[in-house]
């Protein structure tokens, strides 16, 4: 790691999913000099995840529908969403979709727009629905990046940020071949995705690390709603980490991998009702009767790593609705699987509803630091309507790009000394995997006091052990992998502690957060939990 280079730019964007790409393009359109960095390729993260057949992009049908959409998002969020952010969000979605069309991004519209299959998860009616096609989106948005002269930094892991006199001044990246990259800038946008890096089983690519949230927190930003996340079924085998289409729940049999018998034995649960209801939404929620389906699948995953076997019924094979047919056509083309093939299913982390706290200008409260996309929290709550993750990246990506560019216009670049401080931890990769296993056991579907406390105690032990095995870093003593993994461990440790503290504090069940020892929603906990300066606490009501 003895090589180095220096970059000067107005705006640095960290993360190259839909949020980061839109932020870079918008900042470029404002005539800012923009650098877009990704720890892997450009067009990455959950926005371009290869394990799904496409991404829904949902918005209000028209201006009159906006109020109902806002009210529904707030209702589904169960008091955990910020009303001002939601209003900003909804009022800009149509504009964002129009912008994609202007960029000639191909969007797939439903042939039967009124079909029940196109009602978004947790919503009560059909909305404006578009399918975002990955290949076409990459091609069209690449042209916009080139048109606006965006400097691309693929395969660069941003591991430190710097500020001077209270404002952001730069960041340090590492590259496998180029070594250290010092980036001096006027503003930074974090668009690095959700908290998938905290979990063993995740429907994300490995570049979704949680590093962005950690960097923001280190700079003084606040995190919010960490305990609320989307957990949903995915393939364990074959084609691991492929997203399961929830619309087929009612048409499927779920079998114990060992006995080949149904996992839904008679126990007083109305399984027909639960499966029908489960077919209306992808992520788990404790709000609905369908929760019993997730409970049963997750229990089997905990006792058998093979999960449960899924076999499709003849009724589905003979008659596939449009949304489901699209799914099986994609499976055949991309995964070489057909409706005749059985799969093994498990429960995975999928997406974060919480993250870096921002305002309606995508500002974090730290001068020169902005954030957007799944790295942020506030525009969603305890549950999130389907199709809004893509819309979130589209809307707040553009807002963050505009805000960061406008902020940068007022300033000069300040070339302060970048003191490289990367404590290298022996066996960092092993500790990361242990933390991911702990979070899977404790912070997924079932959450319970005694298990959470055990996990927090072990996190403290790991923190101490890693301190004991830390080596002070020289400039050329360690490899790229050692430096990268040690930085990721530092982030995962801090955020695992914050996540589990939030889970422990919320002694109730609310949306995606289910406490087995507190199964009911409690009005006393109708406040958001924030993480600031390493301290987790309930937000002070304004």
Q: What is the pLDDT of residue 190?
A: 98
Residue 536: pLDDT over 80: yes
pLDDT one-digit tens code per residue, 472-499: 655 457 889 999 999 999 999 999 999 9
Average pLDDT, the chain: 94
Select from 278, 273, 280 the least CA-distant residue to 297.
278
Residue 30: pLDDT over 70: yes
Per CATH, is 421-528 categorized as 3.40.50.300?
A: no
Q: What is the pLDDT of residue 416?
A: 82
- Which residues lie across from 170 on neighbouring strands? 162, 184
pLDDT one-digit tens code per residue, 216-273: 999 999 999 999 999 999 999 999 999 999 999 999 999 999 999 999 988 899 999 9
Q: What is the pLDDT of residue 476?
A: 57
- Mean pLDDT for 62-81 is 97
Residue 142: pLDDT over 60: yes
pLDDT one-digit tens code per residue, 286-337: 999 999 999 999 999 999 999 999 999 998 988 888 888 889 999 999 999 9
Q: What is the largest CA-CA distance in the chain?
A: 69
- Which residues lie across from 256 on neighbouring strands? 308
Q: What is the pLDDT of residue 474?
A: 57
pLDDT one-digit tens code per residue, 352-381: 999 999 999 999 999 999 999 999 999 999
- Give long-range contacts, CB 8 A cutoff, 24+ apart: 134-139: 134/48, 134/54, 134/55, 136/105, 136/106, 137/18, 137/43, 137/48, 137/100, 137/105, 137/106, 138/43, 138/48
116 band by pLDDT with thresholds 50, 70 and 90: confident
E strand or H helix at 394: helix 388-409
Out of 127, 182, 202, 278, the active site residue is 278
Q: What is the pLDDT of residue 495?
A: 98
Strands of the sheet containing 128-132, edge to edge, are 55-59, 128-132, 107-109
The fold for domain 4-226+353-409 equals FAD/NAD(P)-binding domain (3.50.50)
- Mean pLDDT for 457-476 is 82
Q: What is the pLDDT of residue 200?
A: 96
pLDDT one-digit tens code per residue, 144-167: 999 999 999 999 999 999 999 999
306 counts as catalytic: no
């Amino acid at each position: 790691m003895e090589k180095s280079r220096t970059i000067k730019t107005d705006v640095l964007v960290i993360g190259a999913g839909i949020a980061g790409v839109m932020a870079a393009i918008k900042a470029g359109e404002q005539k800012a000099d923009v650098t877009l960095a990704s720890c892997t390729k450009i067009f990455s993260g959950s926005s371009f995840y290869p394990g799904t057949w496409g991404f829904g992009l949902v918005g209000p049908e028209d201006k009159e529908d906006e109020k109902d959409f806002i009210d529904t998002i707030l209702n589904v969020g169960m008091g955990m969403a910020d009303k001002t952010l939601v209003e900003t969000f909804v009022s800009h979605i149509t504009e964002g979709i129009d912008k994609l069309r202007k960029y000639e991004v191909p969007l797939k519209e439903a042939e039967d727009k009124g079909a029940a299959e196109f009602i978004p998860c947790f919503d009560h009616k059909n909305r404006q629905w578009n399918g975002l096609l990955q290949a076409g989106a990459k091609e069209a948005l690449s042209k916009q990046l080139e048109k606006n002269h965006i400097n691309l930094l693929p395969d660069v892991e941003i591991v430190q940020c710097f500020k001077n006199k209270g404002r952001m001044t730069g960041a340090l990246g590492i590259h496998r071949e180029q070594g250290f990259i010092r980036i001096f800038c006027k503003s930074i946008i974090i668009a690095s995705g959700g908290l998938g890096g905290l979990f063993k089983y995740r429907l994300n690519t490995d570049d979704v690390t949680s590093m962005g949230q950690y960097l923001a927190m280190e700079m003084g930003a606040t995190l919010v709603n960490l305990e609320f996340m989307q957990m949903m079924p995915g393939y364990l085998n074959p084609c691991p980490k492929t997203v399961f289409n929830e619309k087929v729940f009612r048409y499927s049999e779920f079998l114990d991998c060992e006995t080949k018998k149904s996992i839904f034995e008679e126990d007083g649960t109305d399984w027909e009702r639960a499966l029908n209801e489960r077919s209306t939404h992808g992520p788990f929620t404790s709000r609905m009767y369908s929760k019993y389906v997730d409970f049963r699948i997750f229990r089997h995953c905990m006792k058998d790593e093979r999960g449960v076997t899924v076999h499709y019924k003849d009724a589905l094979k003979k008659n596939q609705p449009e949304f489901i047919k699209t799914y099986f056509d994609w499976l055949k083309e991309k995964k070489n699987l057909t409706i005749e093939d059985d799969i093994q299913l498990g429960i995975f982390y999928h997406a974060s509803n919480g993250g870096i706290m921002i305002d309606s200008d995508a500002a974090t409260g730290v001068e020169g630091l902005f954030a957007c996309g799944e790295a942020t929290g506030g525009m969603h709550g305890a549950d999130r309507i389907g199709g809004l993750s893509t819309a979130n990246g589209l809307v707040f990506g553009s807002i963050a790009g505009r805000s960061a560019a406008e902020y940068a216009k007022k300033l000069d670049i300040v070339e302060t000394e970048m003191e490289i401080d990367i404590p290298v931890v022996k066996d960092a990769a092993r500790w990361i995997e242990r933390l991911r296993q702990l979070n899977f056991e404790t912070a997924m579907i079932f959450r319970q006091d005694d298990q959470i406390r055990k996990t927090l105690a072990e996190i403290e032990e790991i923190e101490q052990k890693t301190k004991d095995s830390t080596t002070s870093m020289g400039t050329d003593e360690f490899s790229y992998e050692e430096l990268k993994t040690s930085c990721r461990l530092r982030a995962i440790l801090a955020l695992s502690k914050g996540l589990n503290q939030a889970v422990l504090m919320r002694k109730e069940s609310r949306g995606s957060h289910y406490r087995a020892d507190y199964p009911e929603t409690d009005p006393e906990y109708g406040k958001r939990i924030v993480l600031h300066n390493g301290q987790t606490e309930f937000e002070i009501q304004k």
